[in-house]
């Protein structure tokens, strides 16, 4: 092979891992997108936006966009006509074009990015099916064959959440009723103050401020102490804040929690200000994890460059998809920041996110939120259990390795929805 041919091959389908570039190039301009479809499944907590891309090769790909309204309209009323007739192997080009040509709809965040992300994931599944390899292999190959998960516990505990004992019991029940074998859990710390004072009548409490009183901090630490003692010293525990607190208050809170060695404190301050997050990170030894409200590399970059967190928490079906997650994670890795995955998705988005996690060097752990209802994983076909000892195992099947189970999905469609529209 001469130099010109080599350079041409390296440039072709460059979003694919090197071993698959020649195979992808052989398919270029030979397959076209014929239709794009969306249907909404009503999950236990959220409505899930499922996406399907059909081609004239008789092969389809499925994906998922972040939950919530508006996604289906953007895809069917804007994206569909822009995608029909296009070469589906140009994954990154098509994703970039959707944002570029729909900038007036908000192409740096929000529903437009979420919708484009669902398309991107479906394109990767389609590419894997066409190339007969798992998606993670196309993303540079695997660092791991299994992906560690943590379970997010309900917010707040269902039984008398105003009492400290309920938080101990929640921790006990999580470990005792643990069929997936999780070795990490997340507790909804931000629920402590509102459940202890639901009328916001205590001095210093106001529904619209982000103040933590000394009494709040004492309660928070008491409940997290009980949870830690219940699960033991070796199981990892994260503590959620949901962007609710001011800088000085959350610094005091994090420092008061240091003795329980949390895996991380999550989203302690509002996401729009990286400077405040940086200040928190530099004032405590407790790891800070953030990112579920951020979109794309451009919004993660300021936090990474400032080293304003210990870990980036990427919601992959929301923030740009699999390739964008790799870009974010690679930049974070350069600064010694690890990657975790936020995840309220259905089985489809969860598995897609796990494929990206398998291909990321500095990955630590992946969330499972609201996914323990049996049908939420029965909605896709698979062999054997999805989880073993707290890990999701990547199957050696093309694309994402799963297909939808029509009977289960049809039984849980949102009102007014039909099978693929």
Summarised one tens digit per residue, pLDDT across range 160-201 is 888 999 999 999 999 999 999 999 999 999 999 999 999 999
Provide the percentage of residues in the chain whose pLDDT is more than 70: 93
Omega before residue 156 within 30° of 0, cis: yes
In a domain, 176, yes or no: yes
At 244-281, the pLDDT tens digits run 999 999 999 999 999 999 999 999 999 889 999 999 99
**DSSP states along 358-386:** HT-TTEEEEEE-S--STHHHHTB--SS-S
Kindly give, in sequence order, each residue whose CB lies less than 8 Å from that of residue 360, ignoring residues fewer than 6 positions away: 143, 325, 326, 329, 339
Q: Is 69 a residue whose pLDDT tops 90?
A: yes
pLDDT bucket at 370, cuts 50 / 70 / 90? low
> Within this chain, do residues 91 and 150 fall inside the same structural domain, yes or no?
no
pTM, rounded to two decimals = 0.92
- pLDDT of 154 reads 85
Q: Is 329 a residue whose pLDDT tops 80?
A: yes
- pLDDT of 246 reads 92
Mean pLDDT of 114-128: 97
> Within this chain, do residues 68 and 180 fall inside the same structural domain, yes or no?
no
Helix (H) or strand (E) holding 81: helix 80-83
- In CATH, what number is assigned to the domain containing residue 320? 3.20.20.120
In a domain, 421, yes or no: no
pLDDT bucket at 371, cuts 50 / 70 / 90? low
- pLDDT of 6 reads 31
Give the CA count within 13 Å in the CB-facing half-sphere of 100: 7
In a domain, 156, yes or no: yes
CB atoms within 10 A of CB 221: 17
In a domain, 373, yes or no: yes
In a domain, 245, yes or no: yes
Looking at residue 79, the DSSP 8-state letter turns out to be I
> Within this chain, do residues 199 and 288 fall inside the same structural domain, yes or no?
yes
> Within this chain, do residues 321 and 186 fall inside the same structural domain, yes or no?
yes
State which of 99, 133, 167 marks the end of a domain: 133
Q: Is 18 a residue whose pLDDT tops 90?
A: no
Mean pLDDT of 100-124: 92
> Within this chain, do residues 313 and 337 fall inside the same structural domain, yes or no?
yes
> Within this chain, do residues 278 and 145 fall inside the same structural domain, yes or no?
yes
> Within this chain, do residues 310 and 206 fall inside the same structural domain, yes or no?
yes
> Within this chain, do residues 55 and 123 fall inside the same structural domain, yes or no?
yes
State which of 112, 133, 154 marks the end of a domain: 133
Q: Which domain holds residue 385?
A: 138-397
Closest by alpha carbon to 250, among 189, 294, 311, 199? Answer: 189
Q: Is 372 a residue whose pLDDT tops 70?
A: no
State the total domains in the chain: 2
In a domain, 267, yes or no: yes
Q: Is 74 a residue whose pLDDT tops 50?
A: yes
At 232, is the secondary structure helix, strand, or coil?
coil
At 332-345, the pLDDT tens digits run 999 999 999 999 99
Q: Is 5 a residue whose pLDDT tops 80?
A: no
> Within this chain, do residues 235 and 277 fall inside the same structural domain, yes or no?
yes
CB atoms within 10 A of CB 106: 14
In a domain, 415, yes or no: no
Mean pLDDT of 16-26: 69
> Within this chain, do residues 220 and 144 fall inside the same structural domain, yes or no?
yes
At 38-62, the pLDDT tens digits run 999 999 989 999 999 999 999 999 9
Angstrom distances, CA of residue 231 to CA of 53, 172, 182, 293: 44, 7, 11, 29
Q: Is 10 a residue whose pLDDT tops 80?
A: no
In a domain, 228, yes or no: yes
């Amino acid at each position: 092979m001469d130099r010109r041919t080599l350079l041409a091959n390296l440039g072709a389908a460059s979003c694919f891992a090197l071993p698959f570039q020649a195979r992808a190039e052989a398919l270029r301009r030979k397959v076209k997108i014929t239709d794009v479809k969306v249907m909404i499944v009503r999950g236990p907590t959220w409505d899930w936006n499922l996406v399907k891309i059909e081609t004239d090769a008789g092969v389809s790909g499925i994906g998922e966009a972040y939950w919530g309204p508006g996604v289906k309209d953007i895809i069917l009323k804007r994206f569909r006509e822009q995608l029909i007739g296009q070469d589906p192997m140009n994954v990154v080009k098509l994703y970039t074009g959707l944002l570029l040509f729909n900038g007036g709809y908000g192409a740096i965040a929000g529903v437009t990015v979420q919708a484009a992300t669902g398309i991107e994931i479906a394109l990767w599944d389609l590419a894997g099916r066409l190339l007969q390899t798992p998606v993670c292999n196309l993303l540079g190959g695997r660092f791991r064959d299994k992906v560690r998960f943590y379970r997010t516990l309900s917010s707040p505990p269902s039984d008398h959440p105003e009492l400290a004992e309920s938080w101990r019991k929640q921790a006990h029940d999580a470990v005792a009723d643990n069929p997936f074998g999780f070795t990490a859990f997340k507790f909804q710390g931000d629920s402590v103050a509102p459940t202890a004072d639901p009328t916001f009548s205590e001095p210093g409490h106001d529904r619209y401020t982000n103040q933590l009183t000394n009494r709040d901090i004492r309660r928070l630490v008491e409940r997290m102490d009980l949870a830690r003692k219940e699960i033991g010293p070796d199981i990892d525990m994260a503590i959620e804040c949901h962007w609710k607190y001011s800088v000085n208050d959350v610094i005091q809170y994090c420092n008061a929690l240091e003795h329980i060695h949390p895996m991380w404190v999550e989203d302690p301050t509002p996401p729009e200000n990286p400077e405040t997050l940086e200040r928190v990170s530099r004032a405590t030894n407790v790891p800070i994890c953030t990112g579920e409200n951020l979109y794309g590399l451009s919004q993660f970059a300021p936090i990474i460059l400032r080293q304003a967190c210990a870990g980036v928490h990427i919601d992959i079906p929301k923030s740009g998809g699999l390739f964008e997650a790799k870009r974010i994670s690679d930049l974070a890795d350069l600064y010694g920041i690890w990657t975790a995955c936020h995840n309220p998705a259905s089985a489809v988005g969860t598995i897609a996110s796990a494929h990206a996690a398998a291909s990321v060097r500095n990955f630590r752990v992946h969330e499972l939120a609201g996914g323990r209802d049996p049908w939420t994983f029965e909605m896709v076909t698979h062999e054997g259990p999805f989880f073993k000892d707290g890990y999701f195992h990547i199957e050696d099947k093309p694309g994402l390795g799963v297909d939808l189970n029509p009977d289960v999905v049809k039984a849980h469609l949102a009102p007014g929805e039909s099978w693929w529209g």
